[in-house]
Chain A
Amino acid sequence: MAETKEKSLSDEKPKPRVRPIVRLGIFLISHSFHVSVVCCTAGVLALFLLPVLAKNTYISENALMPGSASPMLSNQHVSDGNRLVKDLTNPNSKSSETGIESHKIIAQYMLDLGAEVSFHKFHPQMNQFHPLHFFSSPDSGKIQENYSCSSYGINTVGIIRAPHGDGKEAIVLVTPYNALKSGFGEALSLGIAYSVFSLLTQVTWLAKDIIWLVADSQYGEYAAVAAWLREYQTPKFSSLSTPNAEMCPDVNNLFELKGHSISGSKFSNSFRRAGTMASALVLKVRDQNEQFEDTISIYAEASNGQMPNLDLINVVNYLAVHRQGLRVNVEKLWSLLNSSWLKSLGEIFESLAKVAKSLYPKWKFGIPATEYVEGTATLASSLYYQALGVPTGPHGAFRDYQVDAITLEISPKFSLDKVWRNDILLRGGRLIEGVIRSVNNLLEKFHQSFFLYLLTSPSKFVSVGVYMIAFAFLIAPLPMVAASLYVDANSSSNCSKGDSSTPSAITDTDEHSIAIRSWRWLNSAKLVFIVHLWGAIVSLLPYFISQIPDCSPTTSFMIWVLLSILSLLTLNSVLASPLACAKATQEKEWALVKSVTISSVFIGLGLMSVINFATAEIGALLMVPMCLLAQPLKLDVRAGTLRSFCRMICNLVLGHIAFPPAALFLLKGMLDGFGNANVGDFWMWVESLWAWNSATYLFIGMVQLPCWVLCISILFHTC
């Protein structure tokens, strides 16, 4: 902006000396079209180059020392685990309707190992709408009124106190378990956890307490873990809900039996705690599997695209691959794997790399085309899940309390014989043991490695310093174009007024134009502000619409659209009209509006890139071309050249694509075909976003939608 002014000045009165930086600025602004084309292309290209630029992961924290000790988990522990699996899958244990029996069995097993055991009752909390949750600290859950005895879950918690520890730190092992309809996989995951647990009661090297949480997943895995964490981290001192829950006969029954059968043991009724959590592992075993070898999938995305420290993933990956011989998977967008254009792009990069290598042997940046395609698919899914802002598993609940956590899902080759089962128990158990042993070595919390990264494969990552370049290229044209538009709008109005006047009147008109020139953008700023205000209202509307009972997604969506349009019209008539008529005569007003719009988009994207990079990147891909190209259609029609015609077509296409529901529709269509998409989908998608407090929701409501409306209003500007 500094340069913009200078330029406008230098147009009128060429100055003898202009500083180099100012000259550079003037150059950039006067060639803003070419610069923005180059920058945008570079941004998109850099995005596609990311899989090539990915680095191999390495263990950054020395204290971790993964795999340096030989695993201690023996067949004895495995047979212990097997015993638990058998007891749990035994049909007798499922007799009770609430599945309390199986919780009792688990608790009994834990007690036999000498662990401290407690039950944690919780009421599944309905997902509420907290639009400002991102900015506030995690608070203790609000007390809800209507608890009923029929809906509560029981988490079983076992704690091993470390013999050498001071009890200030803990490692959490979570196994989701639904007592009512547990599959064999869940029982097996409990078996693995139990075998590790039984080992850990005996070892002497333990420096951190071990918490084993058997999360009752009948109301969802996430809800159970989140409820337990909330209780753990933010205790309620005057809770009204606890006595309420105690009233329920079933729960009391549970405790009585327990207390009766094992008196004087380490069972306790109250909530038990260990130290602060160093990290958490969520262990799952999948029931069915089509793979030909034992694989382990890592899920790491927490809410709002937060990732656990990369070292945690590194440790798991290292131990699984190099010690236990498991294949490690991270999520991929499978539909991208077969796309031919991606393959050809990969081949182009590969051949380019070959050429580069032949020119100078030290340039080794190429990767094979297949690897490129796979890396891109992984990167795309990494971006997608981060952008969604919805955690991919129960580990997401931990990230809200700054605890690094991942979900490990073991998918074994499917067979039922006992040898195979023992093998899985042994290898899974040894993997968990190794990870726990590494984390146990930590002296501080995870801080050494990256928090901001994208995975392109389990052992490759793109760090924040690299992927920000792509984003920076993409949004770099925005301030430049805003500045050049601002300068144009100002200088053109000056010229038109100054030319026709006689010398004596020059001062007069100058005075007049000066008085409005510098602050003329206020009008446009007001329009932009109103539209953003409208965006805020639109984002709040679903909260009220969701209160309407018995509403199908389609109806809700229709109501939403209707109310949004209504509120836009109201706001426009209340706030904008007196000014609009007063200043409608301004020339090139659309340029100022565009300039301010672009500035606001720049602020919004910059802000979002800090909150959730993936959302900002995807948003920038949509919004930057739309903002930069927007120009009144009337002007283009009037010009009638090929260039303006092309721009008009681009504008119309972008105007359709960038509308958030349309963008989602296209995305869905590309991923699973256009056949089964309908209008209600968008509503459901939005509902899931705000239920998970995703910042993406706010981004769509308060940055993208207003930007789209402003661009459309520029397109249809009557100038």
Chain B
Amino acid sequence: MEKVKKKIGSFSFWNWVTASIIFRLILIYFPKNLNLSSRPEVSTPLTSFRRLAEGYWLKQSFMSPYAGSMYHGSPLLLSLLGPLTINRIEGQPNHLLYSLVSVIADVVSAMLIRATGQNLRLAYLRSLESLDLVKQIEVSEFLFSGDIAALIYLCNPFTIVACVGLSTSPIENMAVILCLYGACSRLIPLAAFGWVIATHLSLYPAILIIPVIFLLGCGPDSPPRKLFLQRHQQKEVLNQSKLPPRFSWGPVIHFAFWAFLWSVYVLVLCGISLKQFGGLWEMFKSTYGFILTVEDLSPNIGVLWYFFAEVFEFFRNFFLIVFHVNILFMILPLAIRLRHRPCYLAFVYVAICSMLKSYPSVGDSALYLGLLGWFVNELADMQFSLFLFCGYVGVSLLSPVMHNLWIWRGTGNANFYFATAMVYACLQIVLVVEGVSAMLNHDRKLRNLITGKPQDAKS
């Protein structure tokens, strides 16, 4: 975040990318000293590397990888990444190969973010052009949001920690970004593939199907359709070509077909790899079931573990439903309000998920902070930016200290650590609320520019 620059030439962009890769490689060579892979902030029961290695080992010895409630990830990850957990190169750090895969995943994600950001920026400029606002808003001042978003993603300490801490979140994030990239550049099979894999790996990205449908149906983010109509009413010429396209069902059906195809494919692969160990039902039970029933109450940066450690057993199911429905409740209103900005909608969904999911890690925050970079132009007048920044810095420093106080020194207790988790959740809420209101204000400002009102309503 701190390295965001106002004007980033492509030369310095590549400099920063290289620097961040080198920084990761340096950190990879000191895994013992940092001990990141055992931090609760980095490795949750779902993303932990040690659990992956355990699952692989169980599978190699002809037992179900889900035996003993150790591993809760996808069987595909076991087949793809499992061999990397035991392959070692002489004289190198133990998990070098796996770390390199994470670094590559991060870089690929950053590149996809960049490409998507450029797409979004072009779309934004095009829509401004068709609204004849190019002169009023100095387009030359526009930042290259793709570059900025990619750099935020790459240089964010959260991403670096998740990458060096050997968690699987870089790969999960890559799947999400792949899905959004595919939808933005209208590569429907790719989008479907990303969506299916992301859902398969961590379940929560399933709700991204709504922004993806909007993206495919009416194209990338643009000001509300109403504005275009108003503009053209003013001019009294209805130029259909300048209007954003109406919702078209073709690509959506196309997407549904591909998504179906990919999910059948993934399920068949999973079924094959789990044939001897209880089949698909076992997989559903110990991956999605594990996510939804919050079985593991070990502390993490979320708020659910504390709550479910306290709650009475016979209320447990009720509160499980309440917490998960919380996410679903927010889907519809947000989808209606932000339907003209599907990518922004995706950002909001990802942020909400990372706040309310059962086993959050810093990798999830890394993802939505990266996506936030796409909208630097629209969110230029976001409020509380310094406050949020300081809050994120403070919490991410305070949380390990509180954990240490509780677990190692014994002078604190669980409330100390949970307090930081609550502050973190509040910060995320403030970020989402302010972000959405800033985006709506931006739309309002555009409307005022068109209708020619002298003062803007709220900004």
- Please give the residue numbers on chain A whose beta carbons come within 8 Å of chain B beta carbons, in ascending order: 1-2, 5, 132, 134-138, 306, 402, 451-452, 486, 503, 506-508, 510-512, 514-519, 521-522, 525-526, 529, 579, 582, 595-596, 599-600, 602-603, 606-607, 610-611
The answer to whether the Cβ of B90 comes within 8 Å of any Cβ in the partner chain is no
Q: Are B2 and A515 in contact (CB under 8 A)?
A: no
**Chain B residues whose C-beta falls within 8 Å of the C-beta of A529 in the assembled complex:** 2
**Chain B residues whose C-beta falls within 8 Å of the C-beta of A137 in the assembled complex:** 35, 408
8 new A-B contacts at CB < 8 Å, known A518-B385, A521-B386: A2-B387, A132-B33, A514-B459, A515-B141, A525-B389, A579-B5, A599-B386, A606-B398
A522 to B397, CA, bound (A): 20
Which residue of the partner chain B has the closest CB to A486? B386
- Pick from A138, A506, A512: contact of B141, CB under 8 Å: A512
Task: List B residues 407-459 near A (Cβ within 8 Å).
Answer: 408-411, 449, 454, 456, 459
Stretch at the interface among B108-116, B174-182, B217-225, B375-383: B375-383
**Chain A residues whose C-beta falls within 8 Å of the C-beta of B393 in the assembled complex:** 600, 603
A608 to B397, CA, bound (A): 10
The answer to whether the Cβ of B394 comes within 8 Å of any Cβ in the partner chain is yes
- Pick from A135, A503, A525, A603: contact of B400, CB under 8 Å: A135
Q: Are A610 and B398 in contact (CB under 8 A)?
A: yes
A306 to B409, CA, bound (A): 8
A132 to B2, CA, bound (A): 23
Output the least CB separation between A527 and chain B (Å).
10
Which residue of the partner chain A has the closest CB to B442? A514
**Chain A residues whose C-beta falls within 8 Å of the C-beta of B449 in the assembled complex:** 507
Which residue of the partner chain B has the closest CB to A302? B409
Q: Are A506 and B454 in contact (CB under 8 A)?
A: yes
Q: Are A526 and B394 in contact (CB under 8 A)?
A: no
**Chain A residues whose C-beta falls within 8 Å of the C-beta of B4 in the assembled complex:** 522
Q: Are A503 and B398 in contact (CB under 8 A)?
A: no
A521 to B1, CA, bound (A): 12
Q: Could you say which of B137, B376, B397, B401 has the most chain A C-beta atoms within 10 Å of its C-beta?
A: B401
A529 to B389, CA, bound (A): 12
The answer to whether the Cβ of B136 comes within 8 Å of any Cβ in the partner chain is yes
Q: Are B137 and A511 in contact (CB under 8 A)?
A: yes
Output the least CB separation between B233 and chain A (Å).
21
Q: Are A610 and B402 in contact (CB under 8 A)?
A: yes
A607 to B411, CA, bound (A): 15
**Chain B residues whose C-beta falls within 8 Å of the C-beta of A138 in the assembled complex:** 408
Which residue of the partner chain B has the closest CB to A304? B409
Q: Are B405 and A610 in contact (CB under 8 A)?
A: yes
Q: Are A1 and B380 in contact (CB under 8 A)?
A: no
A576 to B387, CA, bound (A): 23
Query: Known: A132-B34, A135-B404, A607-B397. Is A452-B2 also a contact (CB below 8 A)?
Result: no
Q: Are A514 and B380 in contact (CB under 8 A)?
A: yes
Q: Are A525 and B2 in contact (CB under 8 A)?
A: yes
- Pick from A451, A486, A512: contact of B138, CB under 8 Å: A512
The answer to whether the Cβ of B249 comes within 8 Å of any Cβ in the partner chain is no
A486 to B384, CA, bound (A): 11
The answer to whether the Cβ of B390 comes within 8 Å of any Cβ in the partner chain is yes
**Chain A residues whose C-beta falls within 8 Å of the C-beta of B137 in the assembled complex:** 511
Query: Known: A512-B141, A515-B141. Is A2-B384 also a contact (CB below 8 A)?
Result: yes
**Chain A residues whose C-beta falls within 8 Å of the C-beta of B35 in the assembled complex:** 136-137
A402 to B408, CA, bound (A): 7
Query: Known: A512-B141, A610-B405. Is A518-B136 also a contact (CB below 8 A)?
Result: no
Q: Are B401 and A611 in contact (CB under 8 A)?
A: yes
A306 to B405, CA, bound (A): 10
Q: Are A1 and B387 in contact (CB under 8 A)?
A: yes
Q: Are B408 and A1 in contact (CB under 8 A)?
A: no
- Pick from B136, B394, B411: contact of A603, CB under 8 Å: B394
A596 to B386, CA, bound (A): 8
Q: Are B411 and A518 in contact (CB under 8 A)?
A: no
Q: Are B5 and A510 in contact (CB under 8 A)?
A: no
A170 to B337, CA, bound (A): 65
Query: Known: A137-B408, A511-B136, A610-B398. Is A503-B454 also a contact (CB below 8 A)?
Result: yes
- Pick from B385, B390, B402, B411: contact of A519, CB under 8 Å: B385
Output the least CB separation between A514 and chain B (Å).
4
A603 to B393, CA, bound (A): 8
Q: Are B385 and A521 in contact (CB under 8 A)?
A: yes
- The contact sample of 17 A-B pairs, CB cut-off 8 A, is A1-B384, A132-B33, A134-B404, A452-B411, A486-B386, A503-B454, A508-B136, A511-B138, A512-B141, A515-B380, A525-B386, A599-B386, A607-B394, A607-B397, A610-B401, A610-B402, A611-B401
A599 to B456, CA, bound (A): 31
A428 to B164, CA, bound (A): 54
Which residue of the partner chain A has the closest CB to B3? A526
Output the least CB separation between A305 and chain B (Å).
10
Which residue of the partner chain B has the closest CB to A130? B33
A425 to B3, CA, bound (A): 67
- Pick from A508, A518, A582, A602: contact of B380, CB under 8 Å: A518
A402 to B404, CA, bound (A): 12
Query: Known: A518-B381, A518-B383. Is A402-B409 also a contact (CB below 8 A)?
Result: yes
Output the least CB separation between B216 and chain A (Å).
31
Task: List B residues 141-178 near A (Cβ within 8 Å).
Answer: 141
Q: Could you say which of A452, A511, A529, A611 has the most chain B C-beta atoms within 10 Å of its C-beta?
A: A511
Q: Could you say which of A136, A526, A595 has the most chain B C-beta atoms within 10 Å of its C-beta?
A: A136
Which residue of the partner chain B has the closest CB to A511? B137
Q: Are B400 and A606 in contact (CB under 8 A)?
A: no
Output the least CB separation between B12 and chain A (Å).
8
A606 to B397, CA, bound (A): 10
A519 to B148, CA, bound (A): 13
A92 to B394, CA, bound (A): 63
Q: Are A402 and B410 in contact (CB under 8 A)?
A: yes
Q: C-beta contact mask, B21-59 vs A, less than 8 Å → 1, else 0?
A: 000000000000111000000000000000000000000
A595 to B408, CA, bound (A): 35
**Chain B residues whose C-beta falls within 8 Å of the C-beta of A518 in the assembled complex:** 380-383, 385
A421 to B98, CA, bound (A): 67
A343 to B411, CA, bound (A): 35
A316 to B265, CA, bound (A): 71
Which residue of the partner chain B has the closest CB to A503? B454
**Chain A residues whose C-beta falls within 8 Å of the C-beta of B459 in the assembled complex:** 514
Q: C-beta contact mask, B355-391 vs A, less than 8 Å → 1, else 0?
A: 0000000000000000000001000111111110110
Which residue of the partner chain B has the closest CB to A1? B387
A529 to B4, CA, bound (A): 12
**Chain A residues whose C-beta falls within 8 Å of the C-beta of B3 in the assembled complex:** 526
**Chain B residues whose C-beta falls within 8 Å of the C-beta of A606 in the assembled complex:** 394, 398
A610 to B376, CA, bound (A): 35
**Chain A residues whose C-beta falls within 8 Å of the C-beta of B398 in the assembled complex:** 606-607, 610
Q: Are B384 and A5 in contact (CB under 8 A)?
A: yes
A521 to B6, CA, bound (A): 12
Query: Known: A521-B386, A610-B402. Is A451-B381 also a contact (CB below 8 A)?
Result: no
Q: Are A517 and B389 in contact (CB under 8 A)?
A: no
A604 to B219, CA, bound (A): 46
A607 to B400, CA, bound (A): 10
Which residue of the partner chain B has the closest CB to A695? B401
**Chain B residues whose C-beta falls within 8 Å of the C-beta of A508 in the assembled complex:** 136, 138
Q: Are B394 and A510 in contact (CB under 8 A)?
A: no
**Chain B residues whose C-beta falls within 8 Å of the C-beta of A525 in the assembled complex:** 2, 386, 389
A602 to B382, CA, bound (A): 23
Output the least CB separation between B23 and chain A (Å).
12
Q: C-beta contact mask, B178-203 vs A, less than 8 Å → 1, else 0?
A: 00000000000000000000000000
Output the least CB separation between B301 and chain A (Å).
16
Q: Are B2 and A526 in contact (CB under 8 A)?
A: yes
A507 to B34, CA, bound (A): 51
Q: Are B456 and A510 in contact (CB under 8 A)?
A: yes
**Chain A residues whose C-beta falls within 8 Å of the C-beta of B383 in the assembled complex:** 5, 518
A486 to B387, CA, bound (A): 11
**Chain A residues whose C-beta falls within 8 Å of the C-beta of B390 in the assembled complex:** 599-600, 602-603
Output the least CB separation between A285 and chain B (Å).
31
A1 to B394, CA, bound (A): 15
**Chain A residues whose C-beta falls within 8 Å of the C-beta of B405 in the assembled complex:** 610
A59 to B6, CA, bound (A): 61
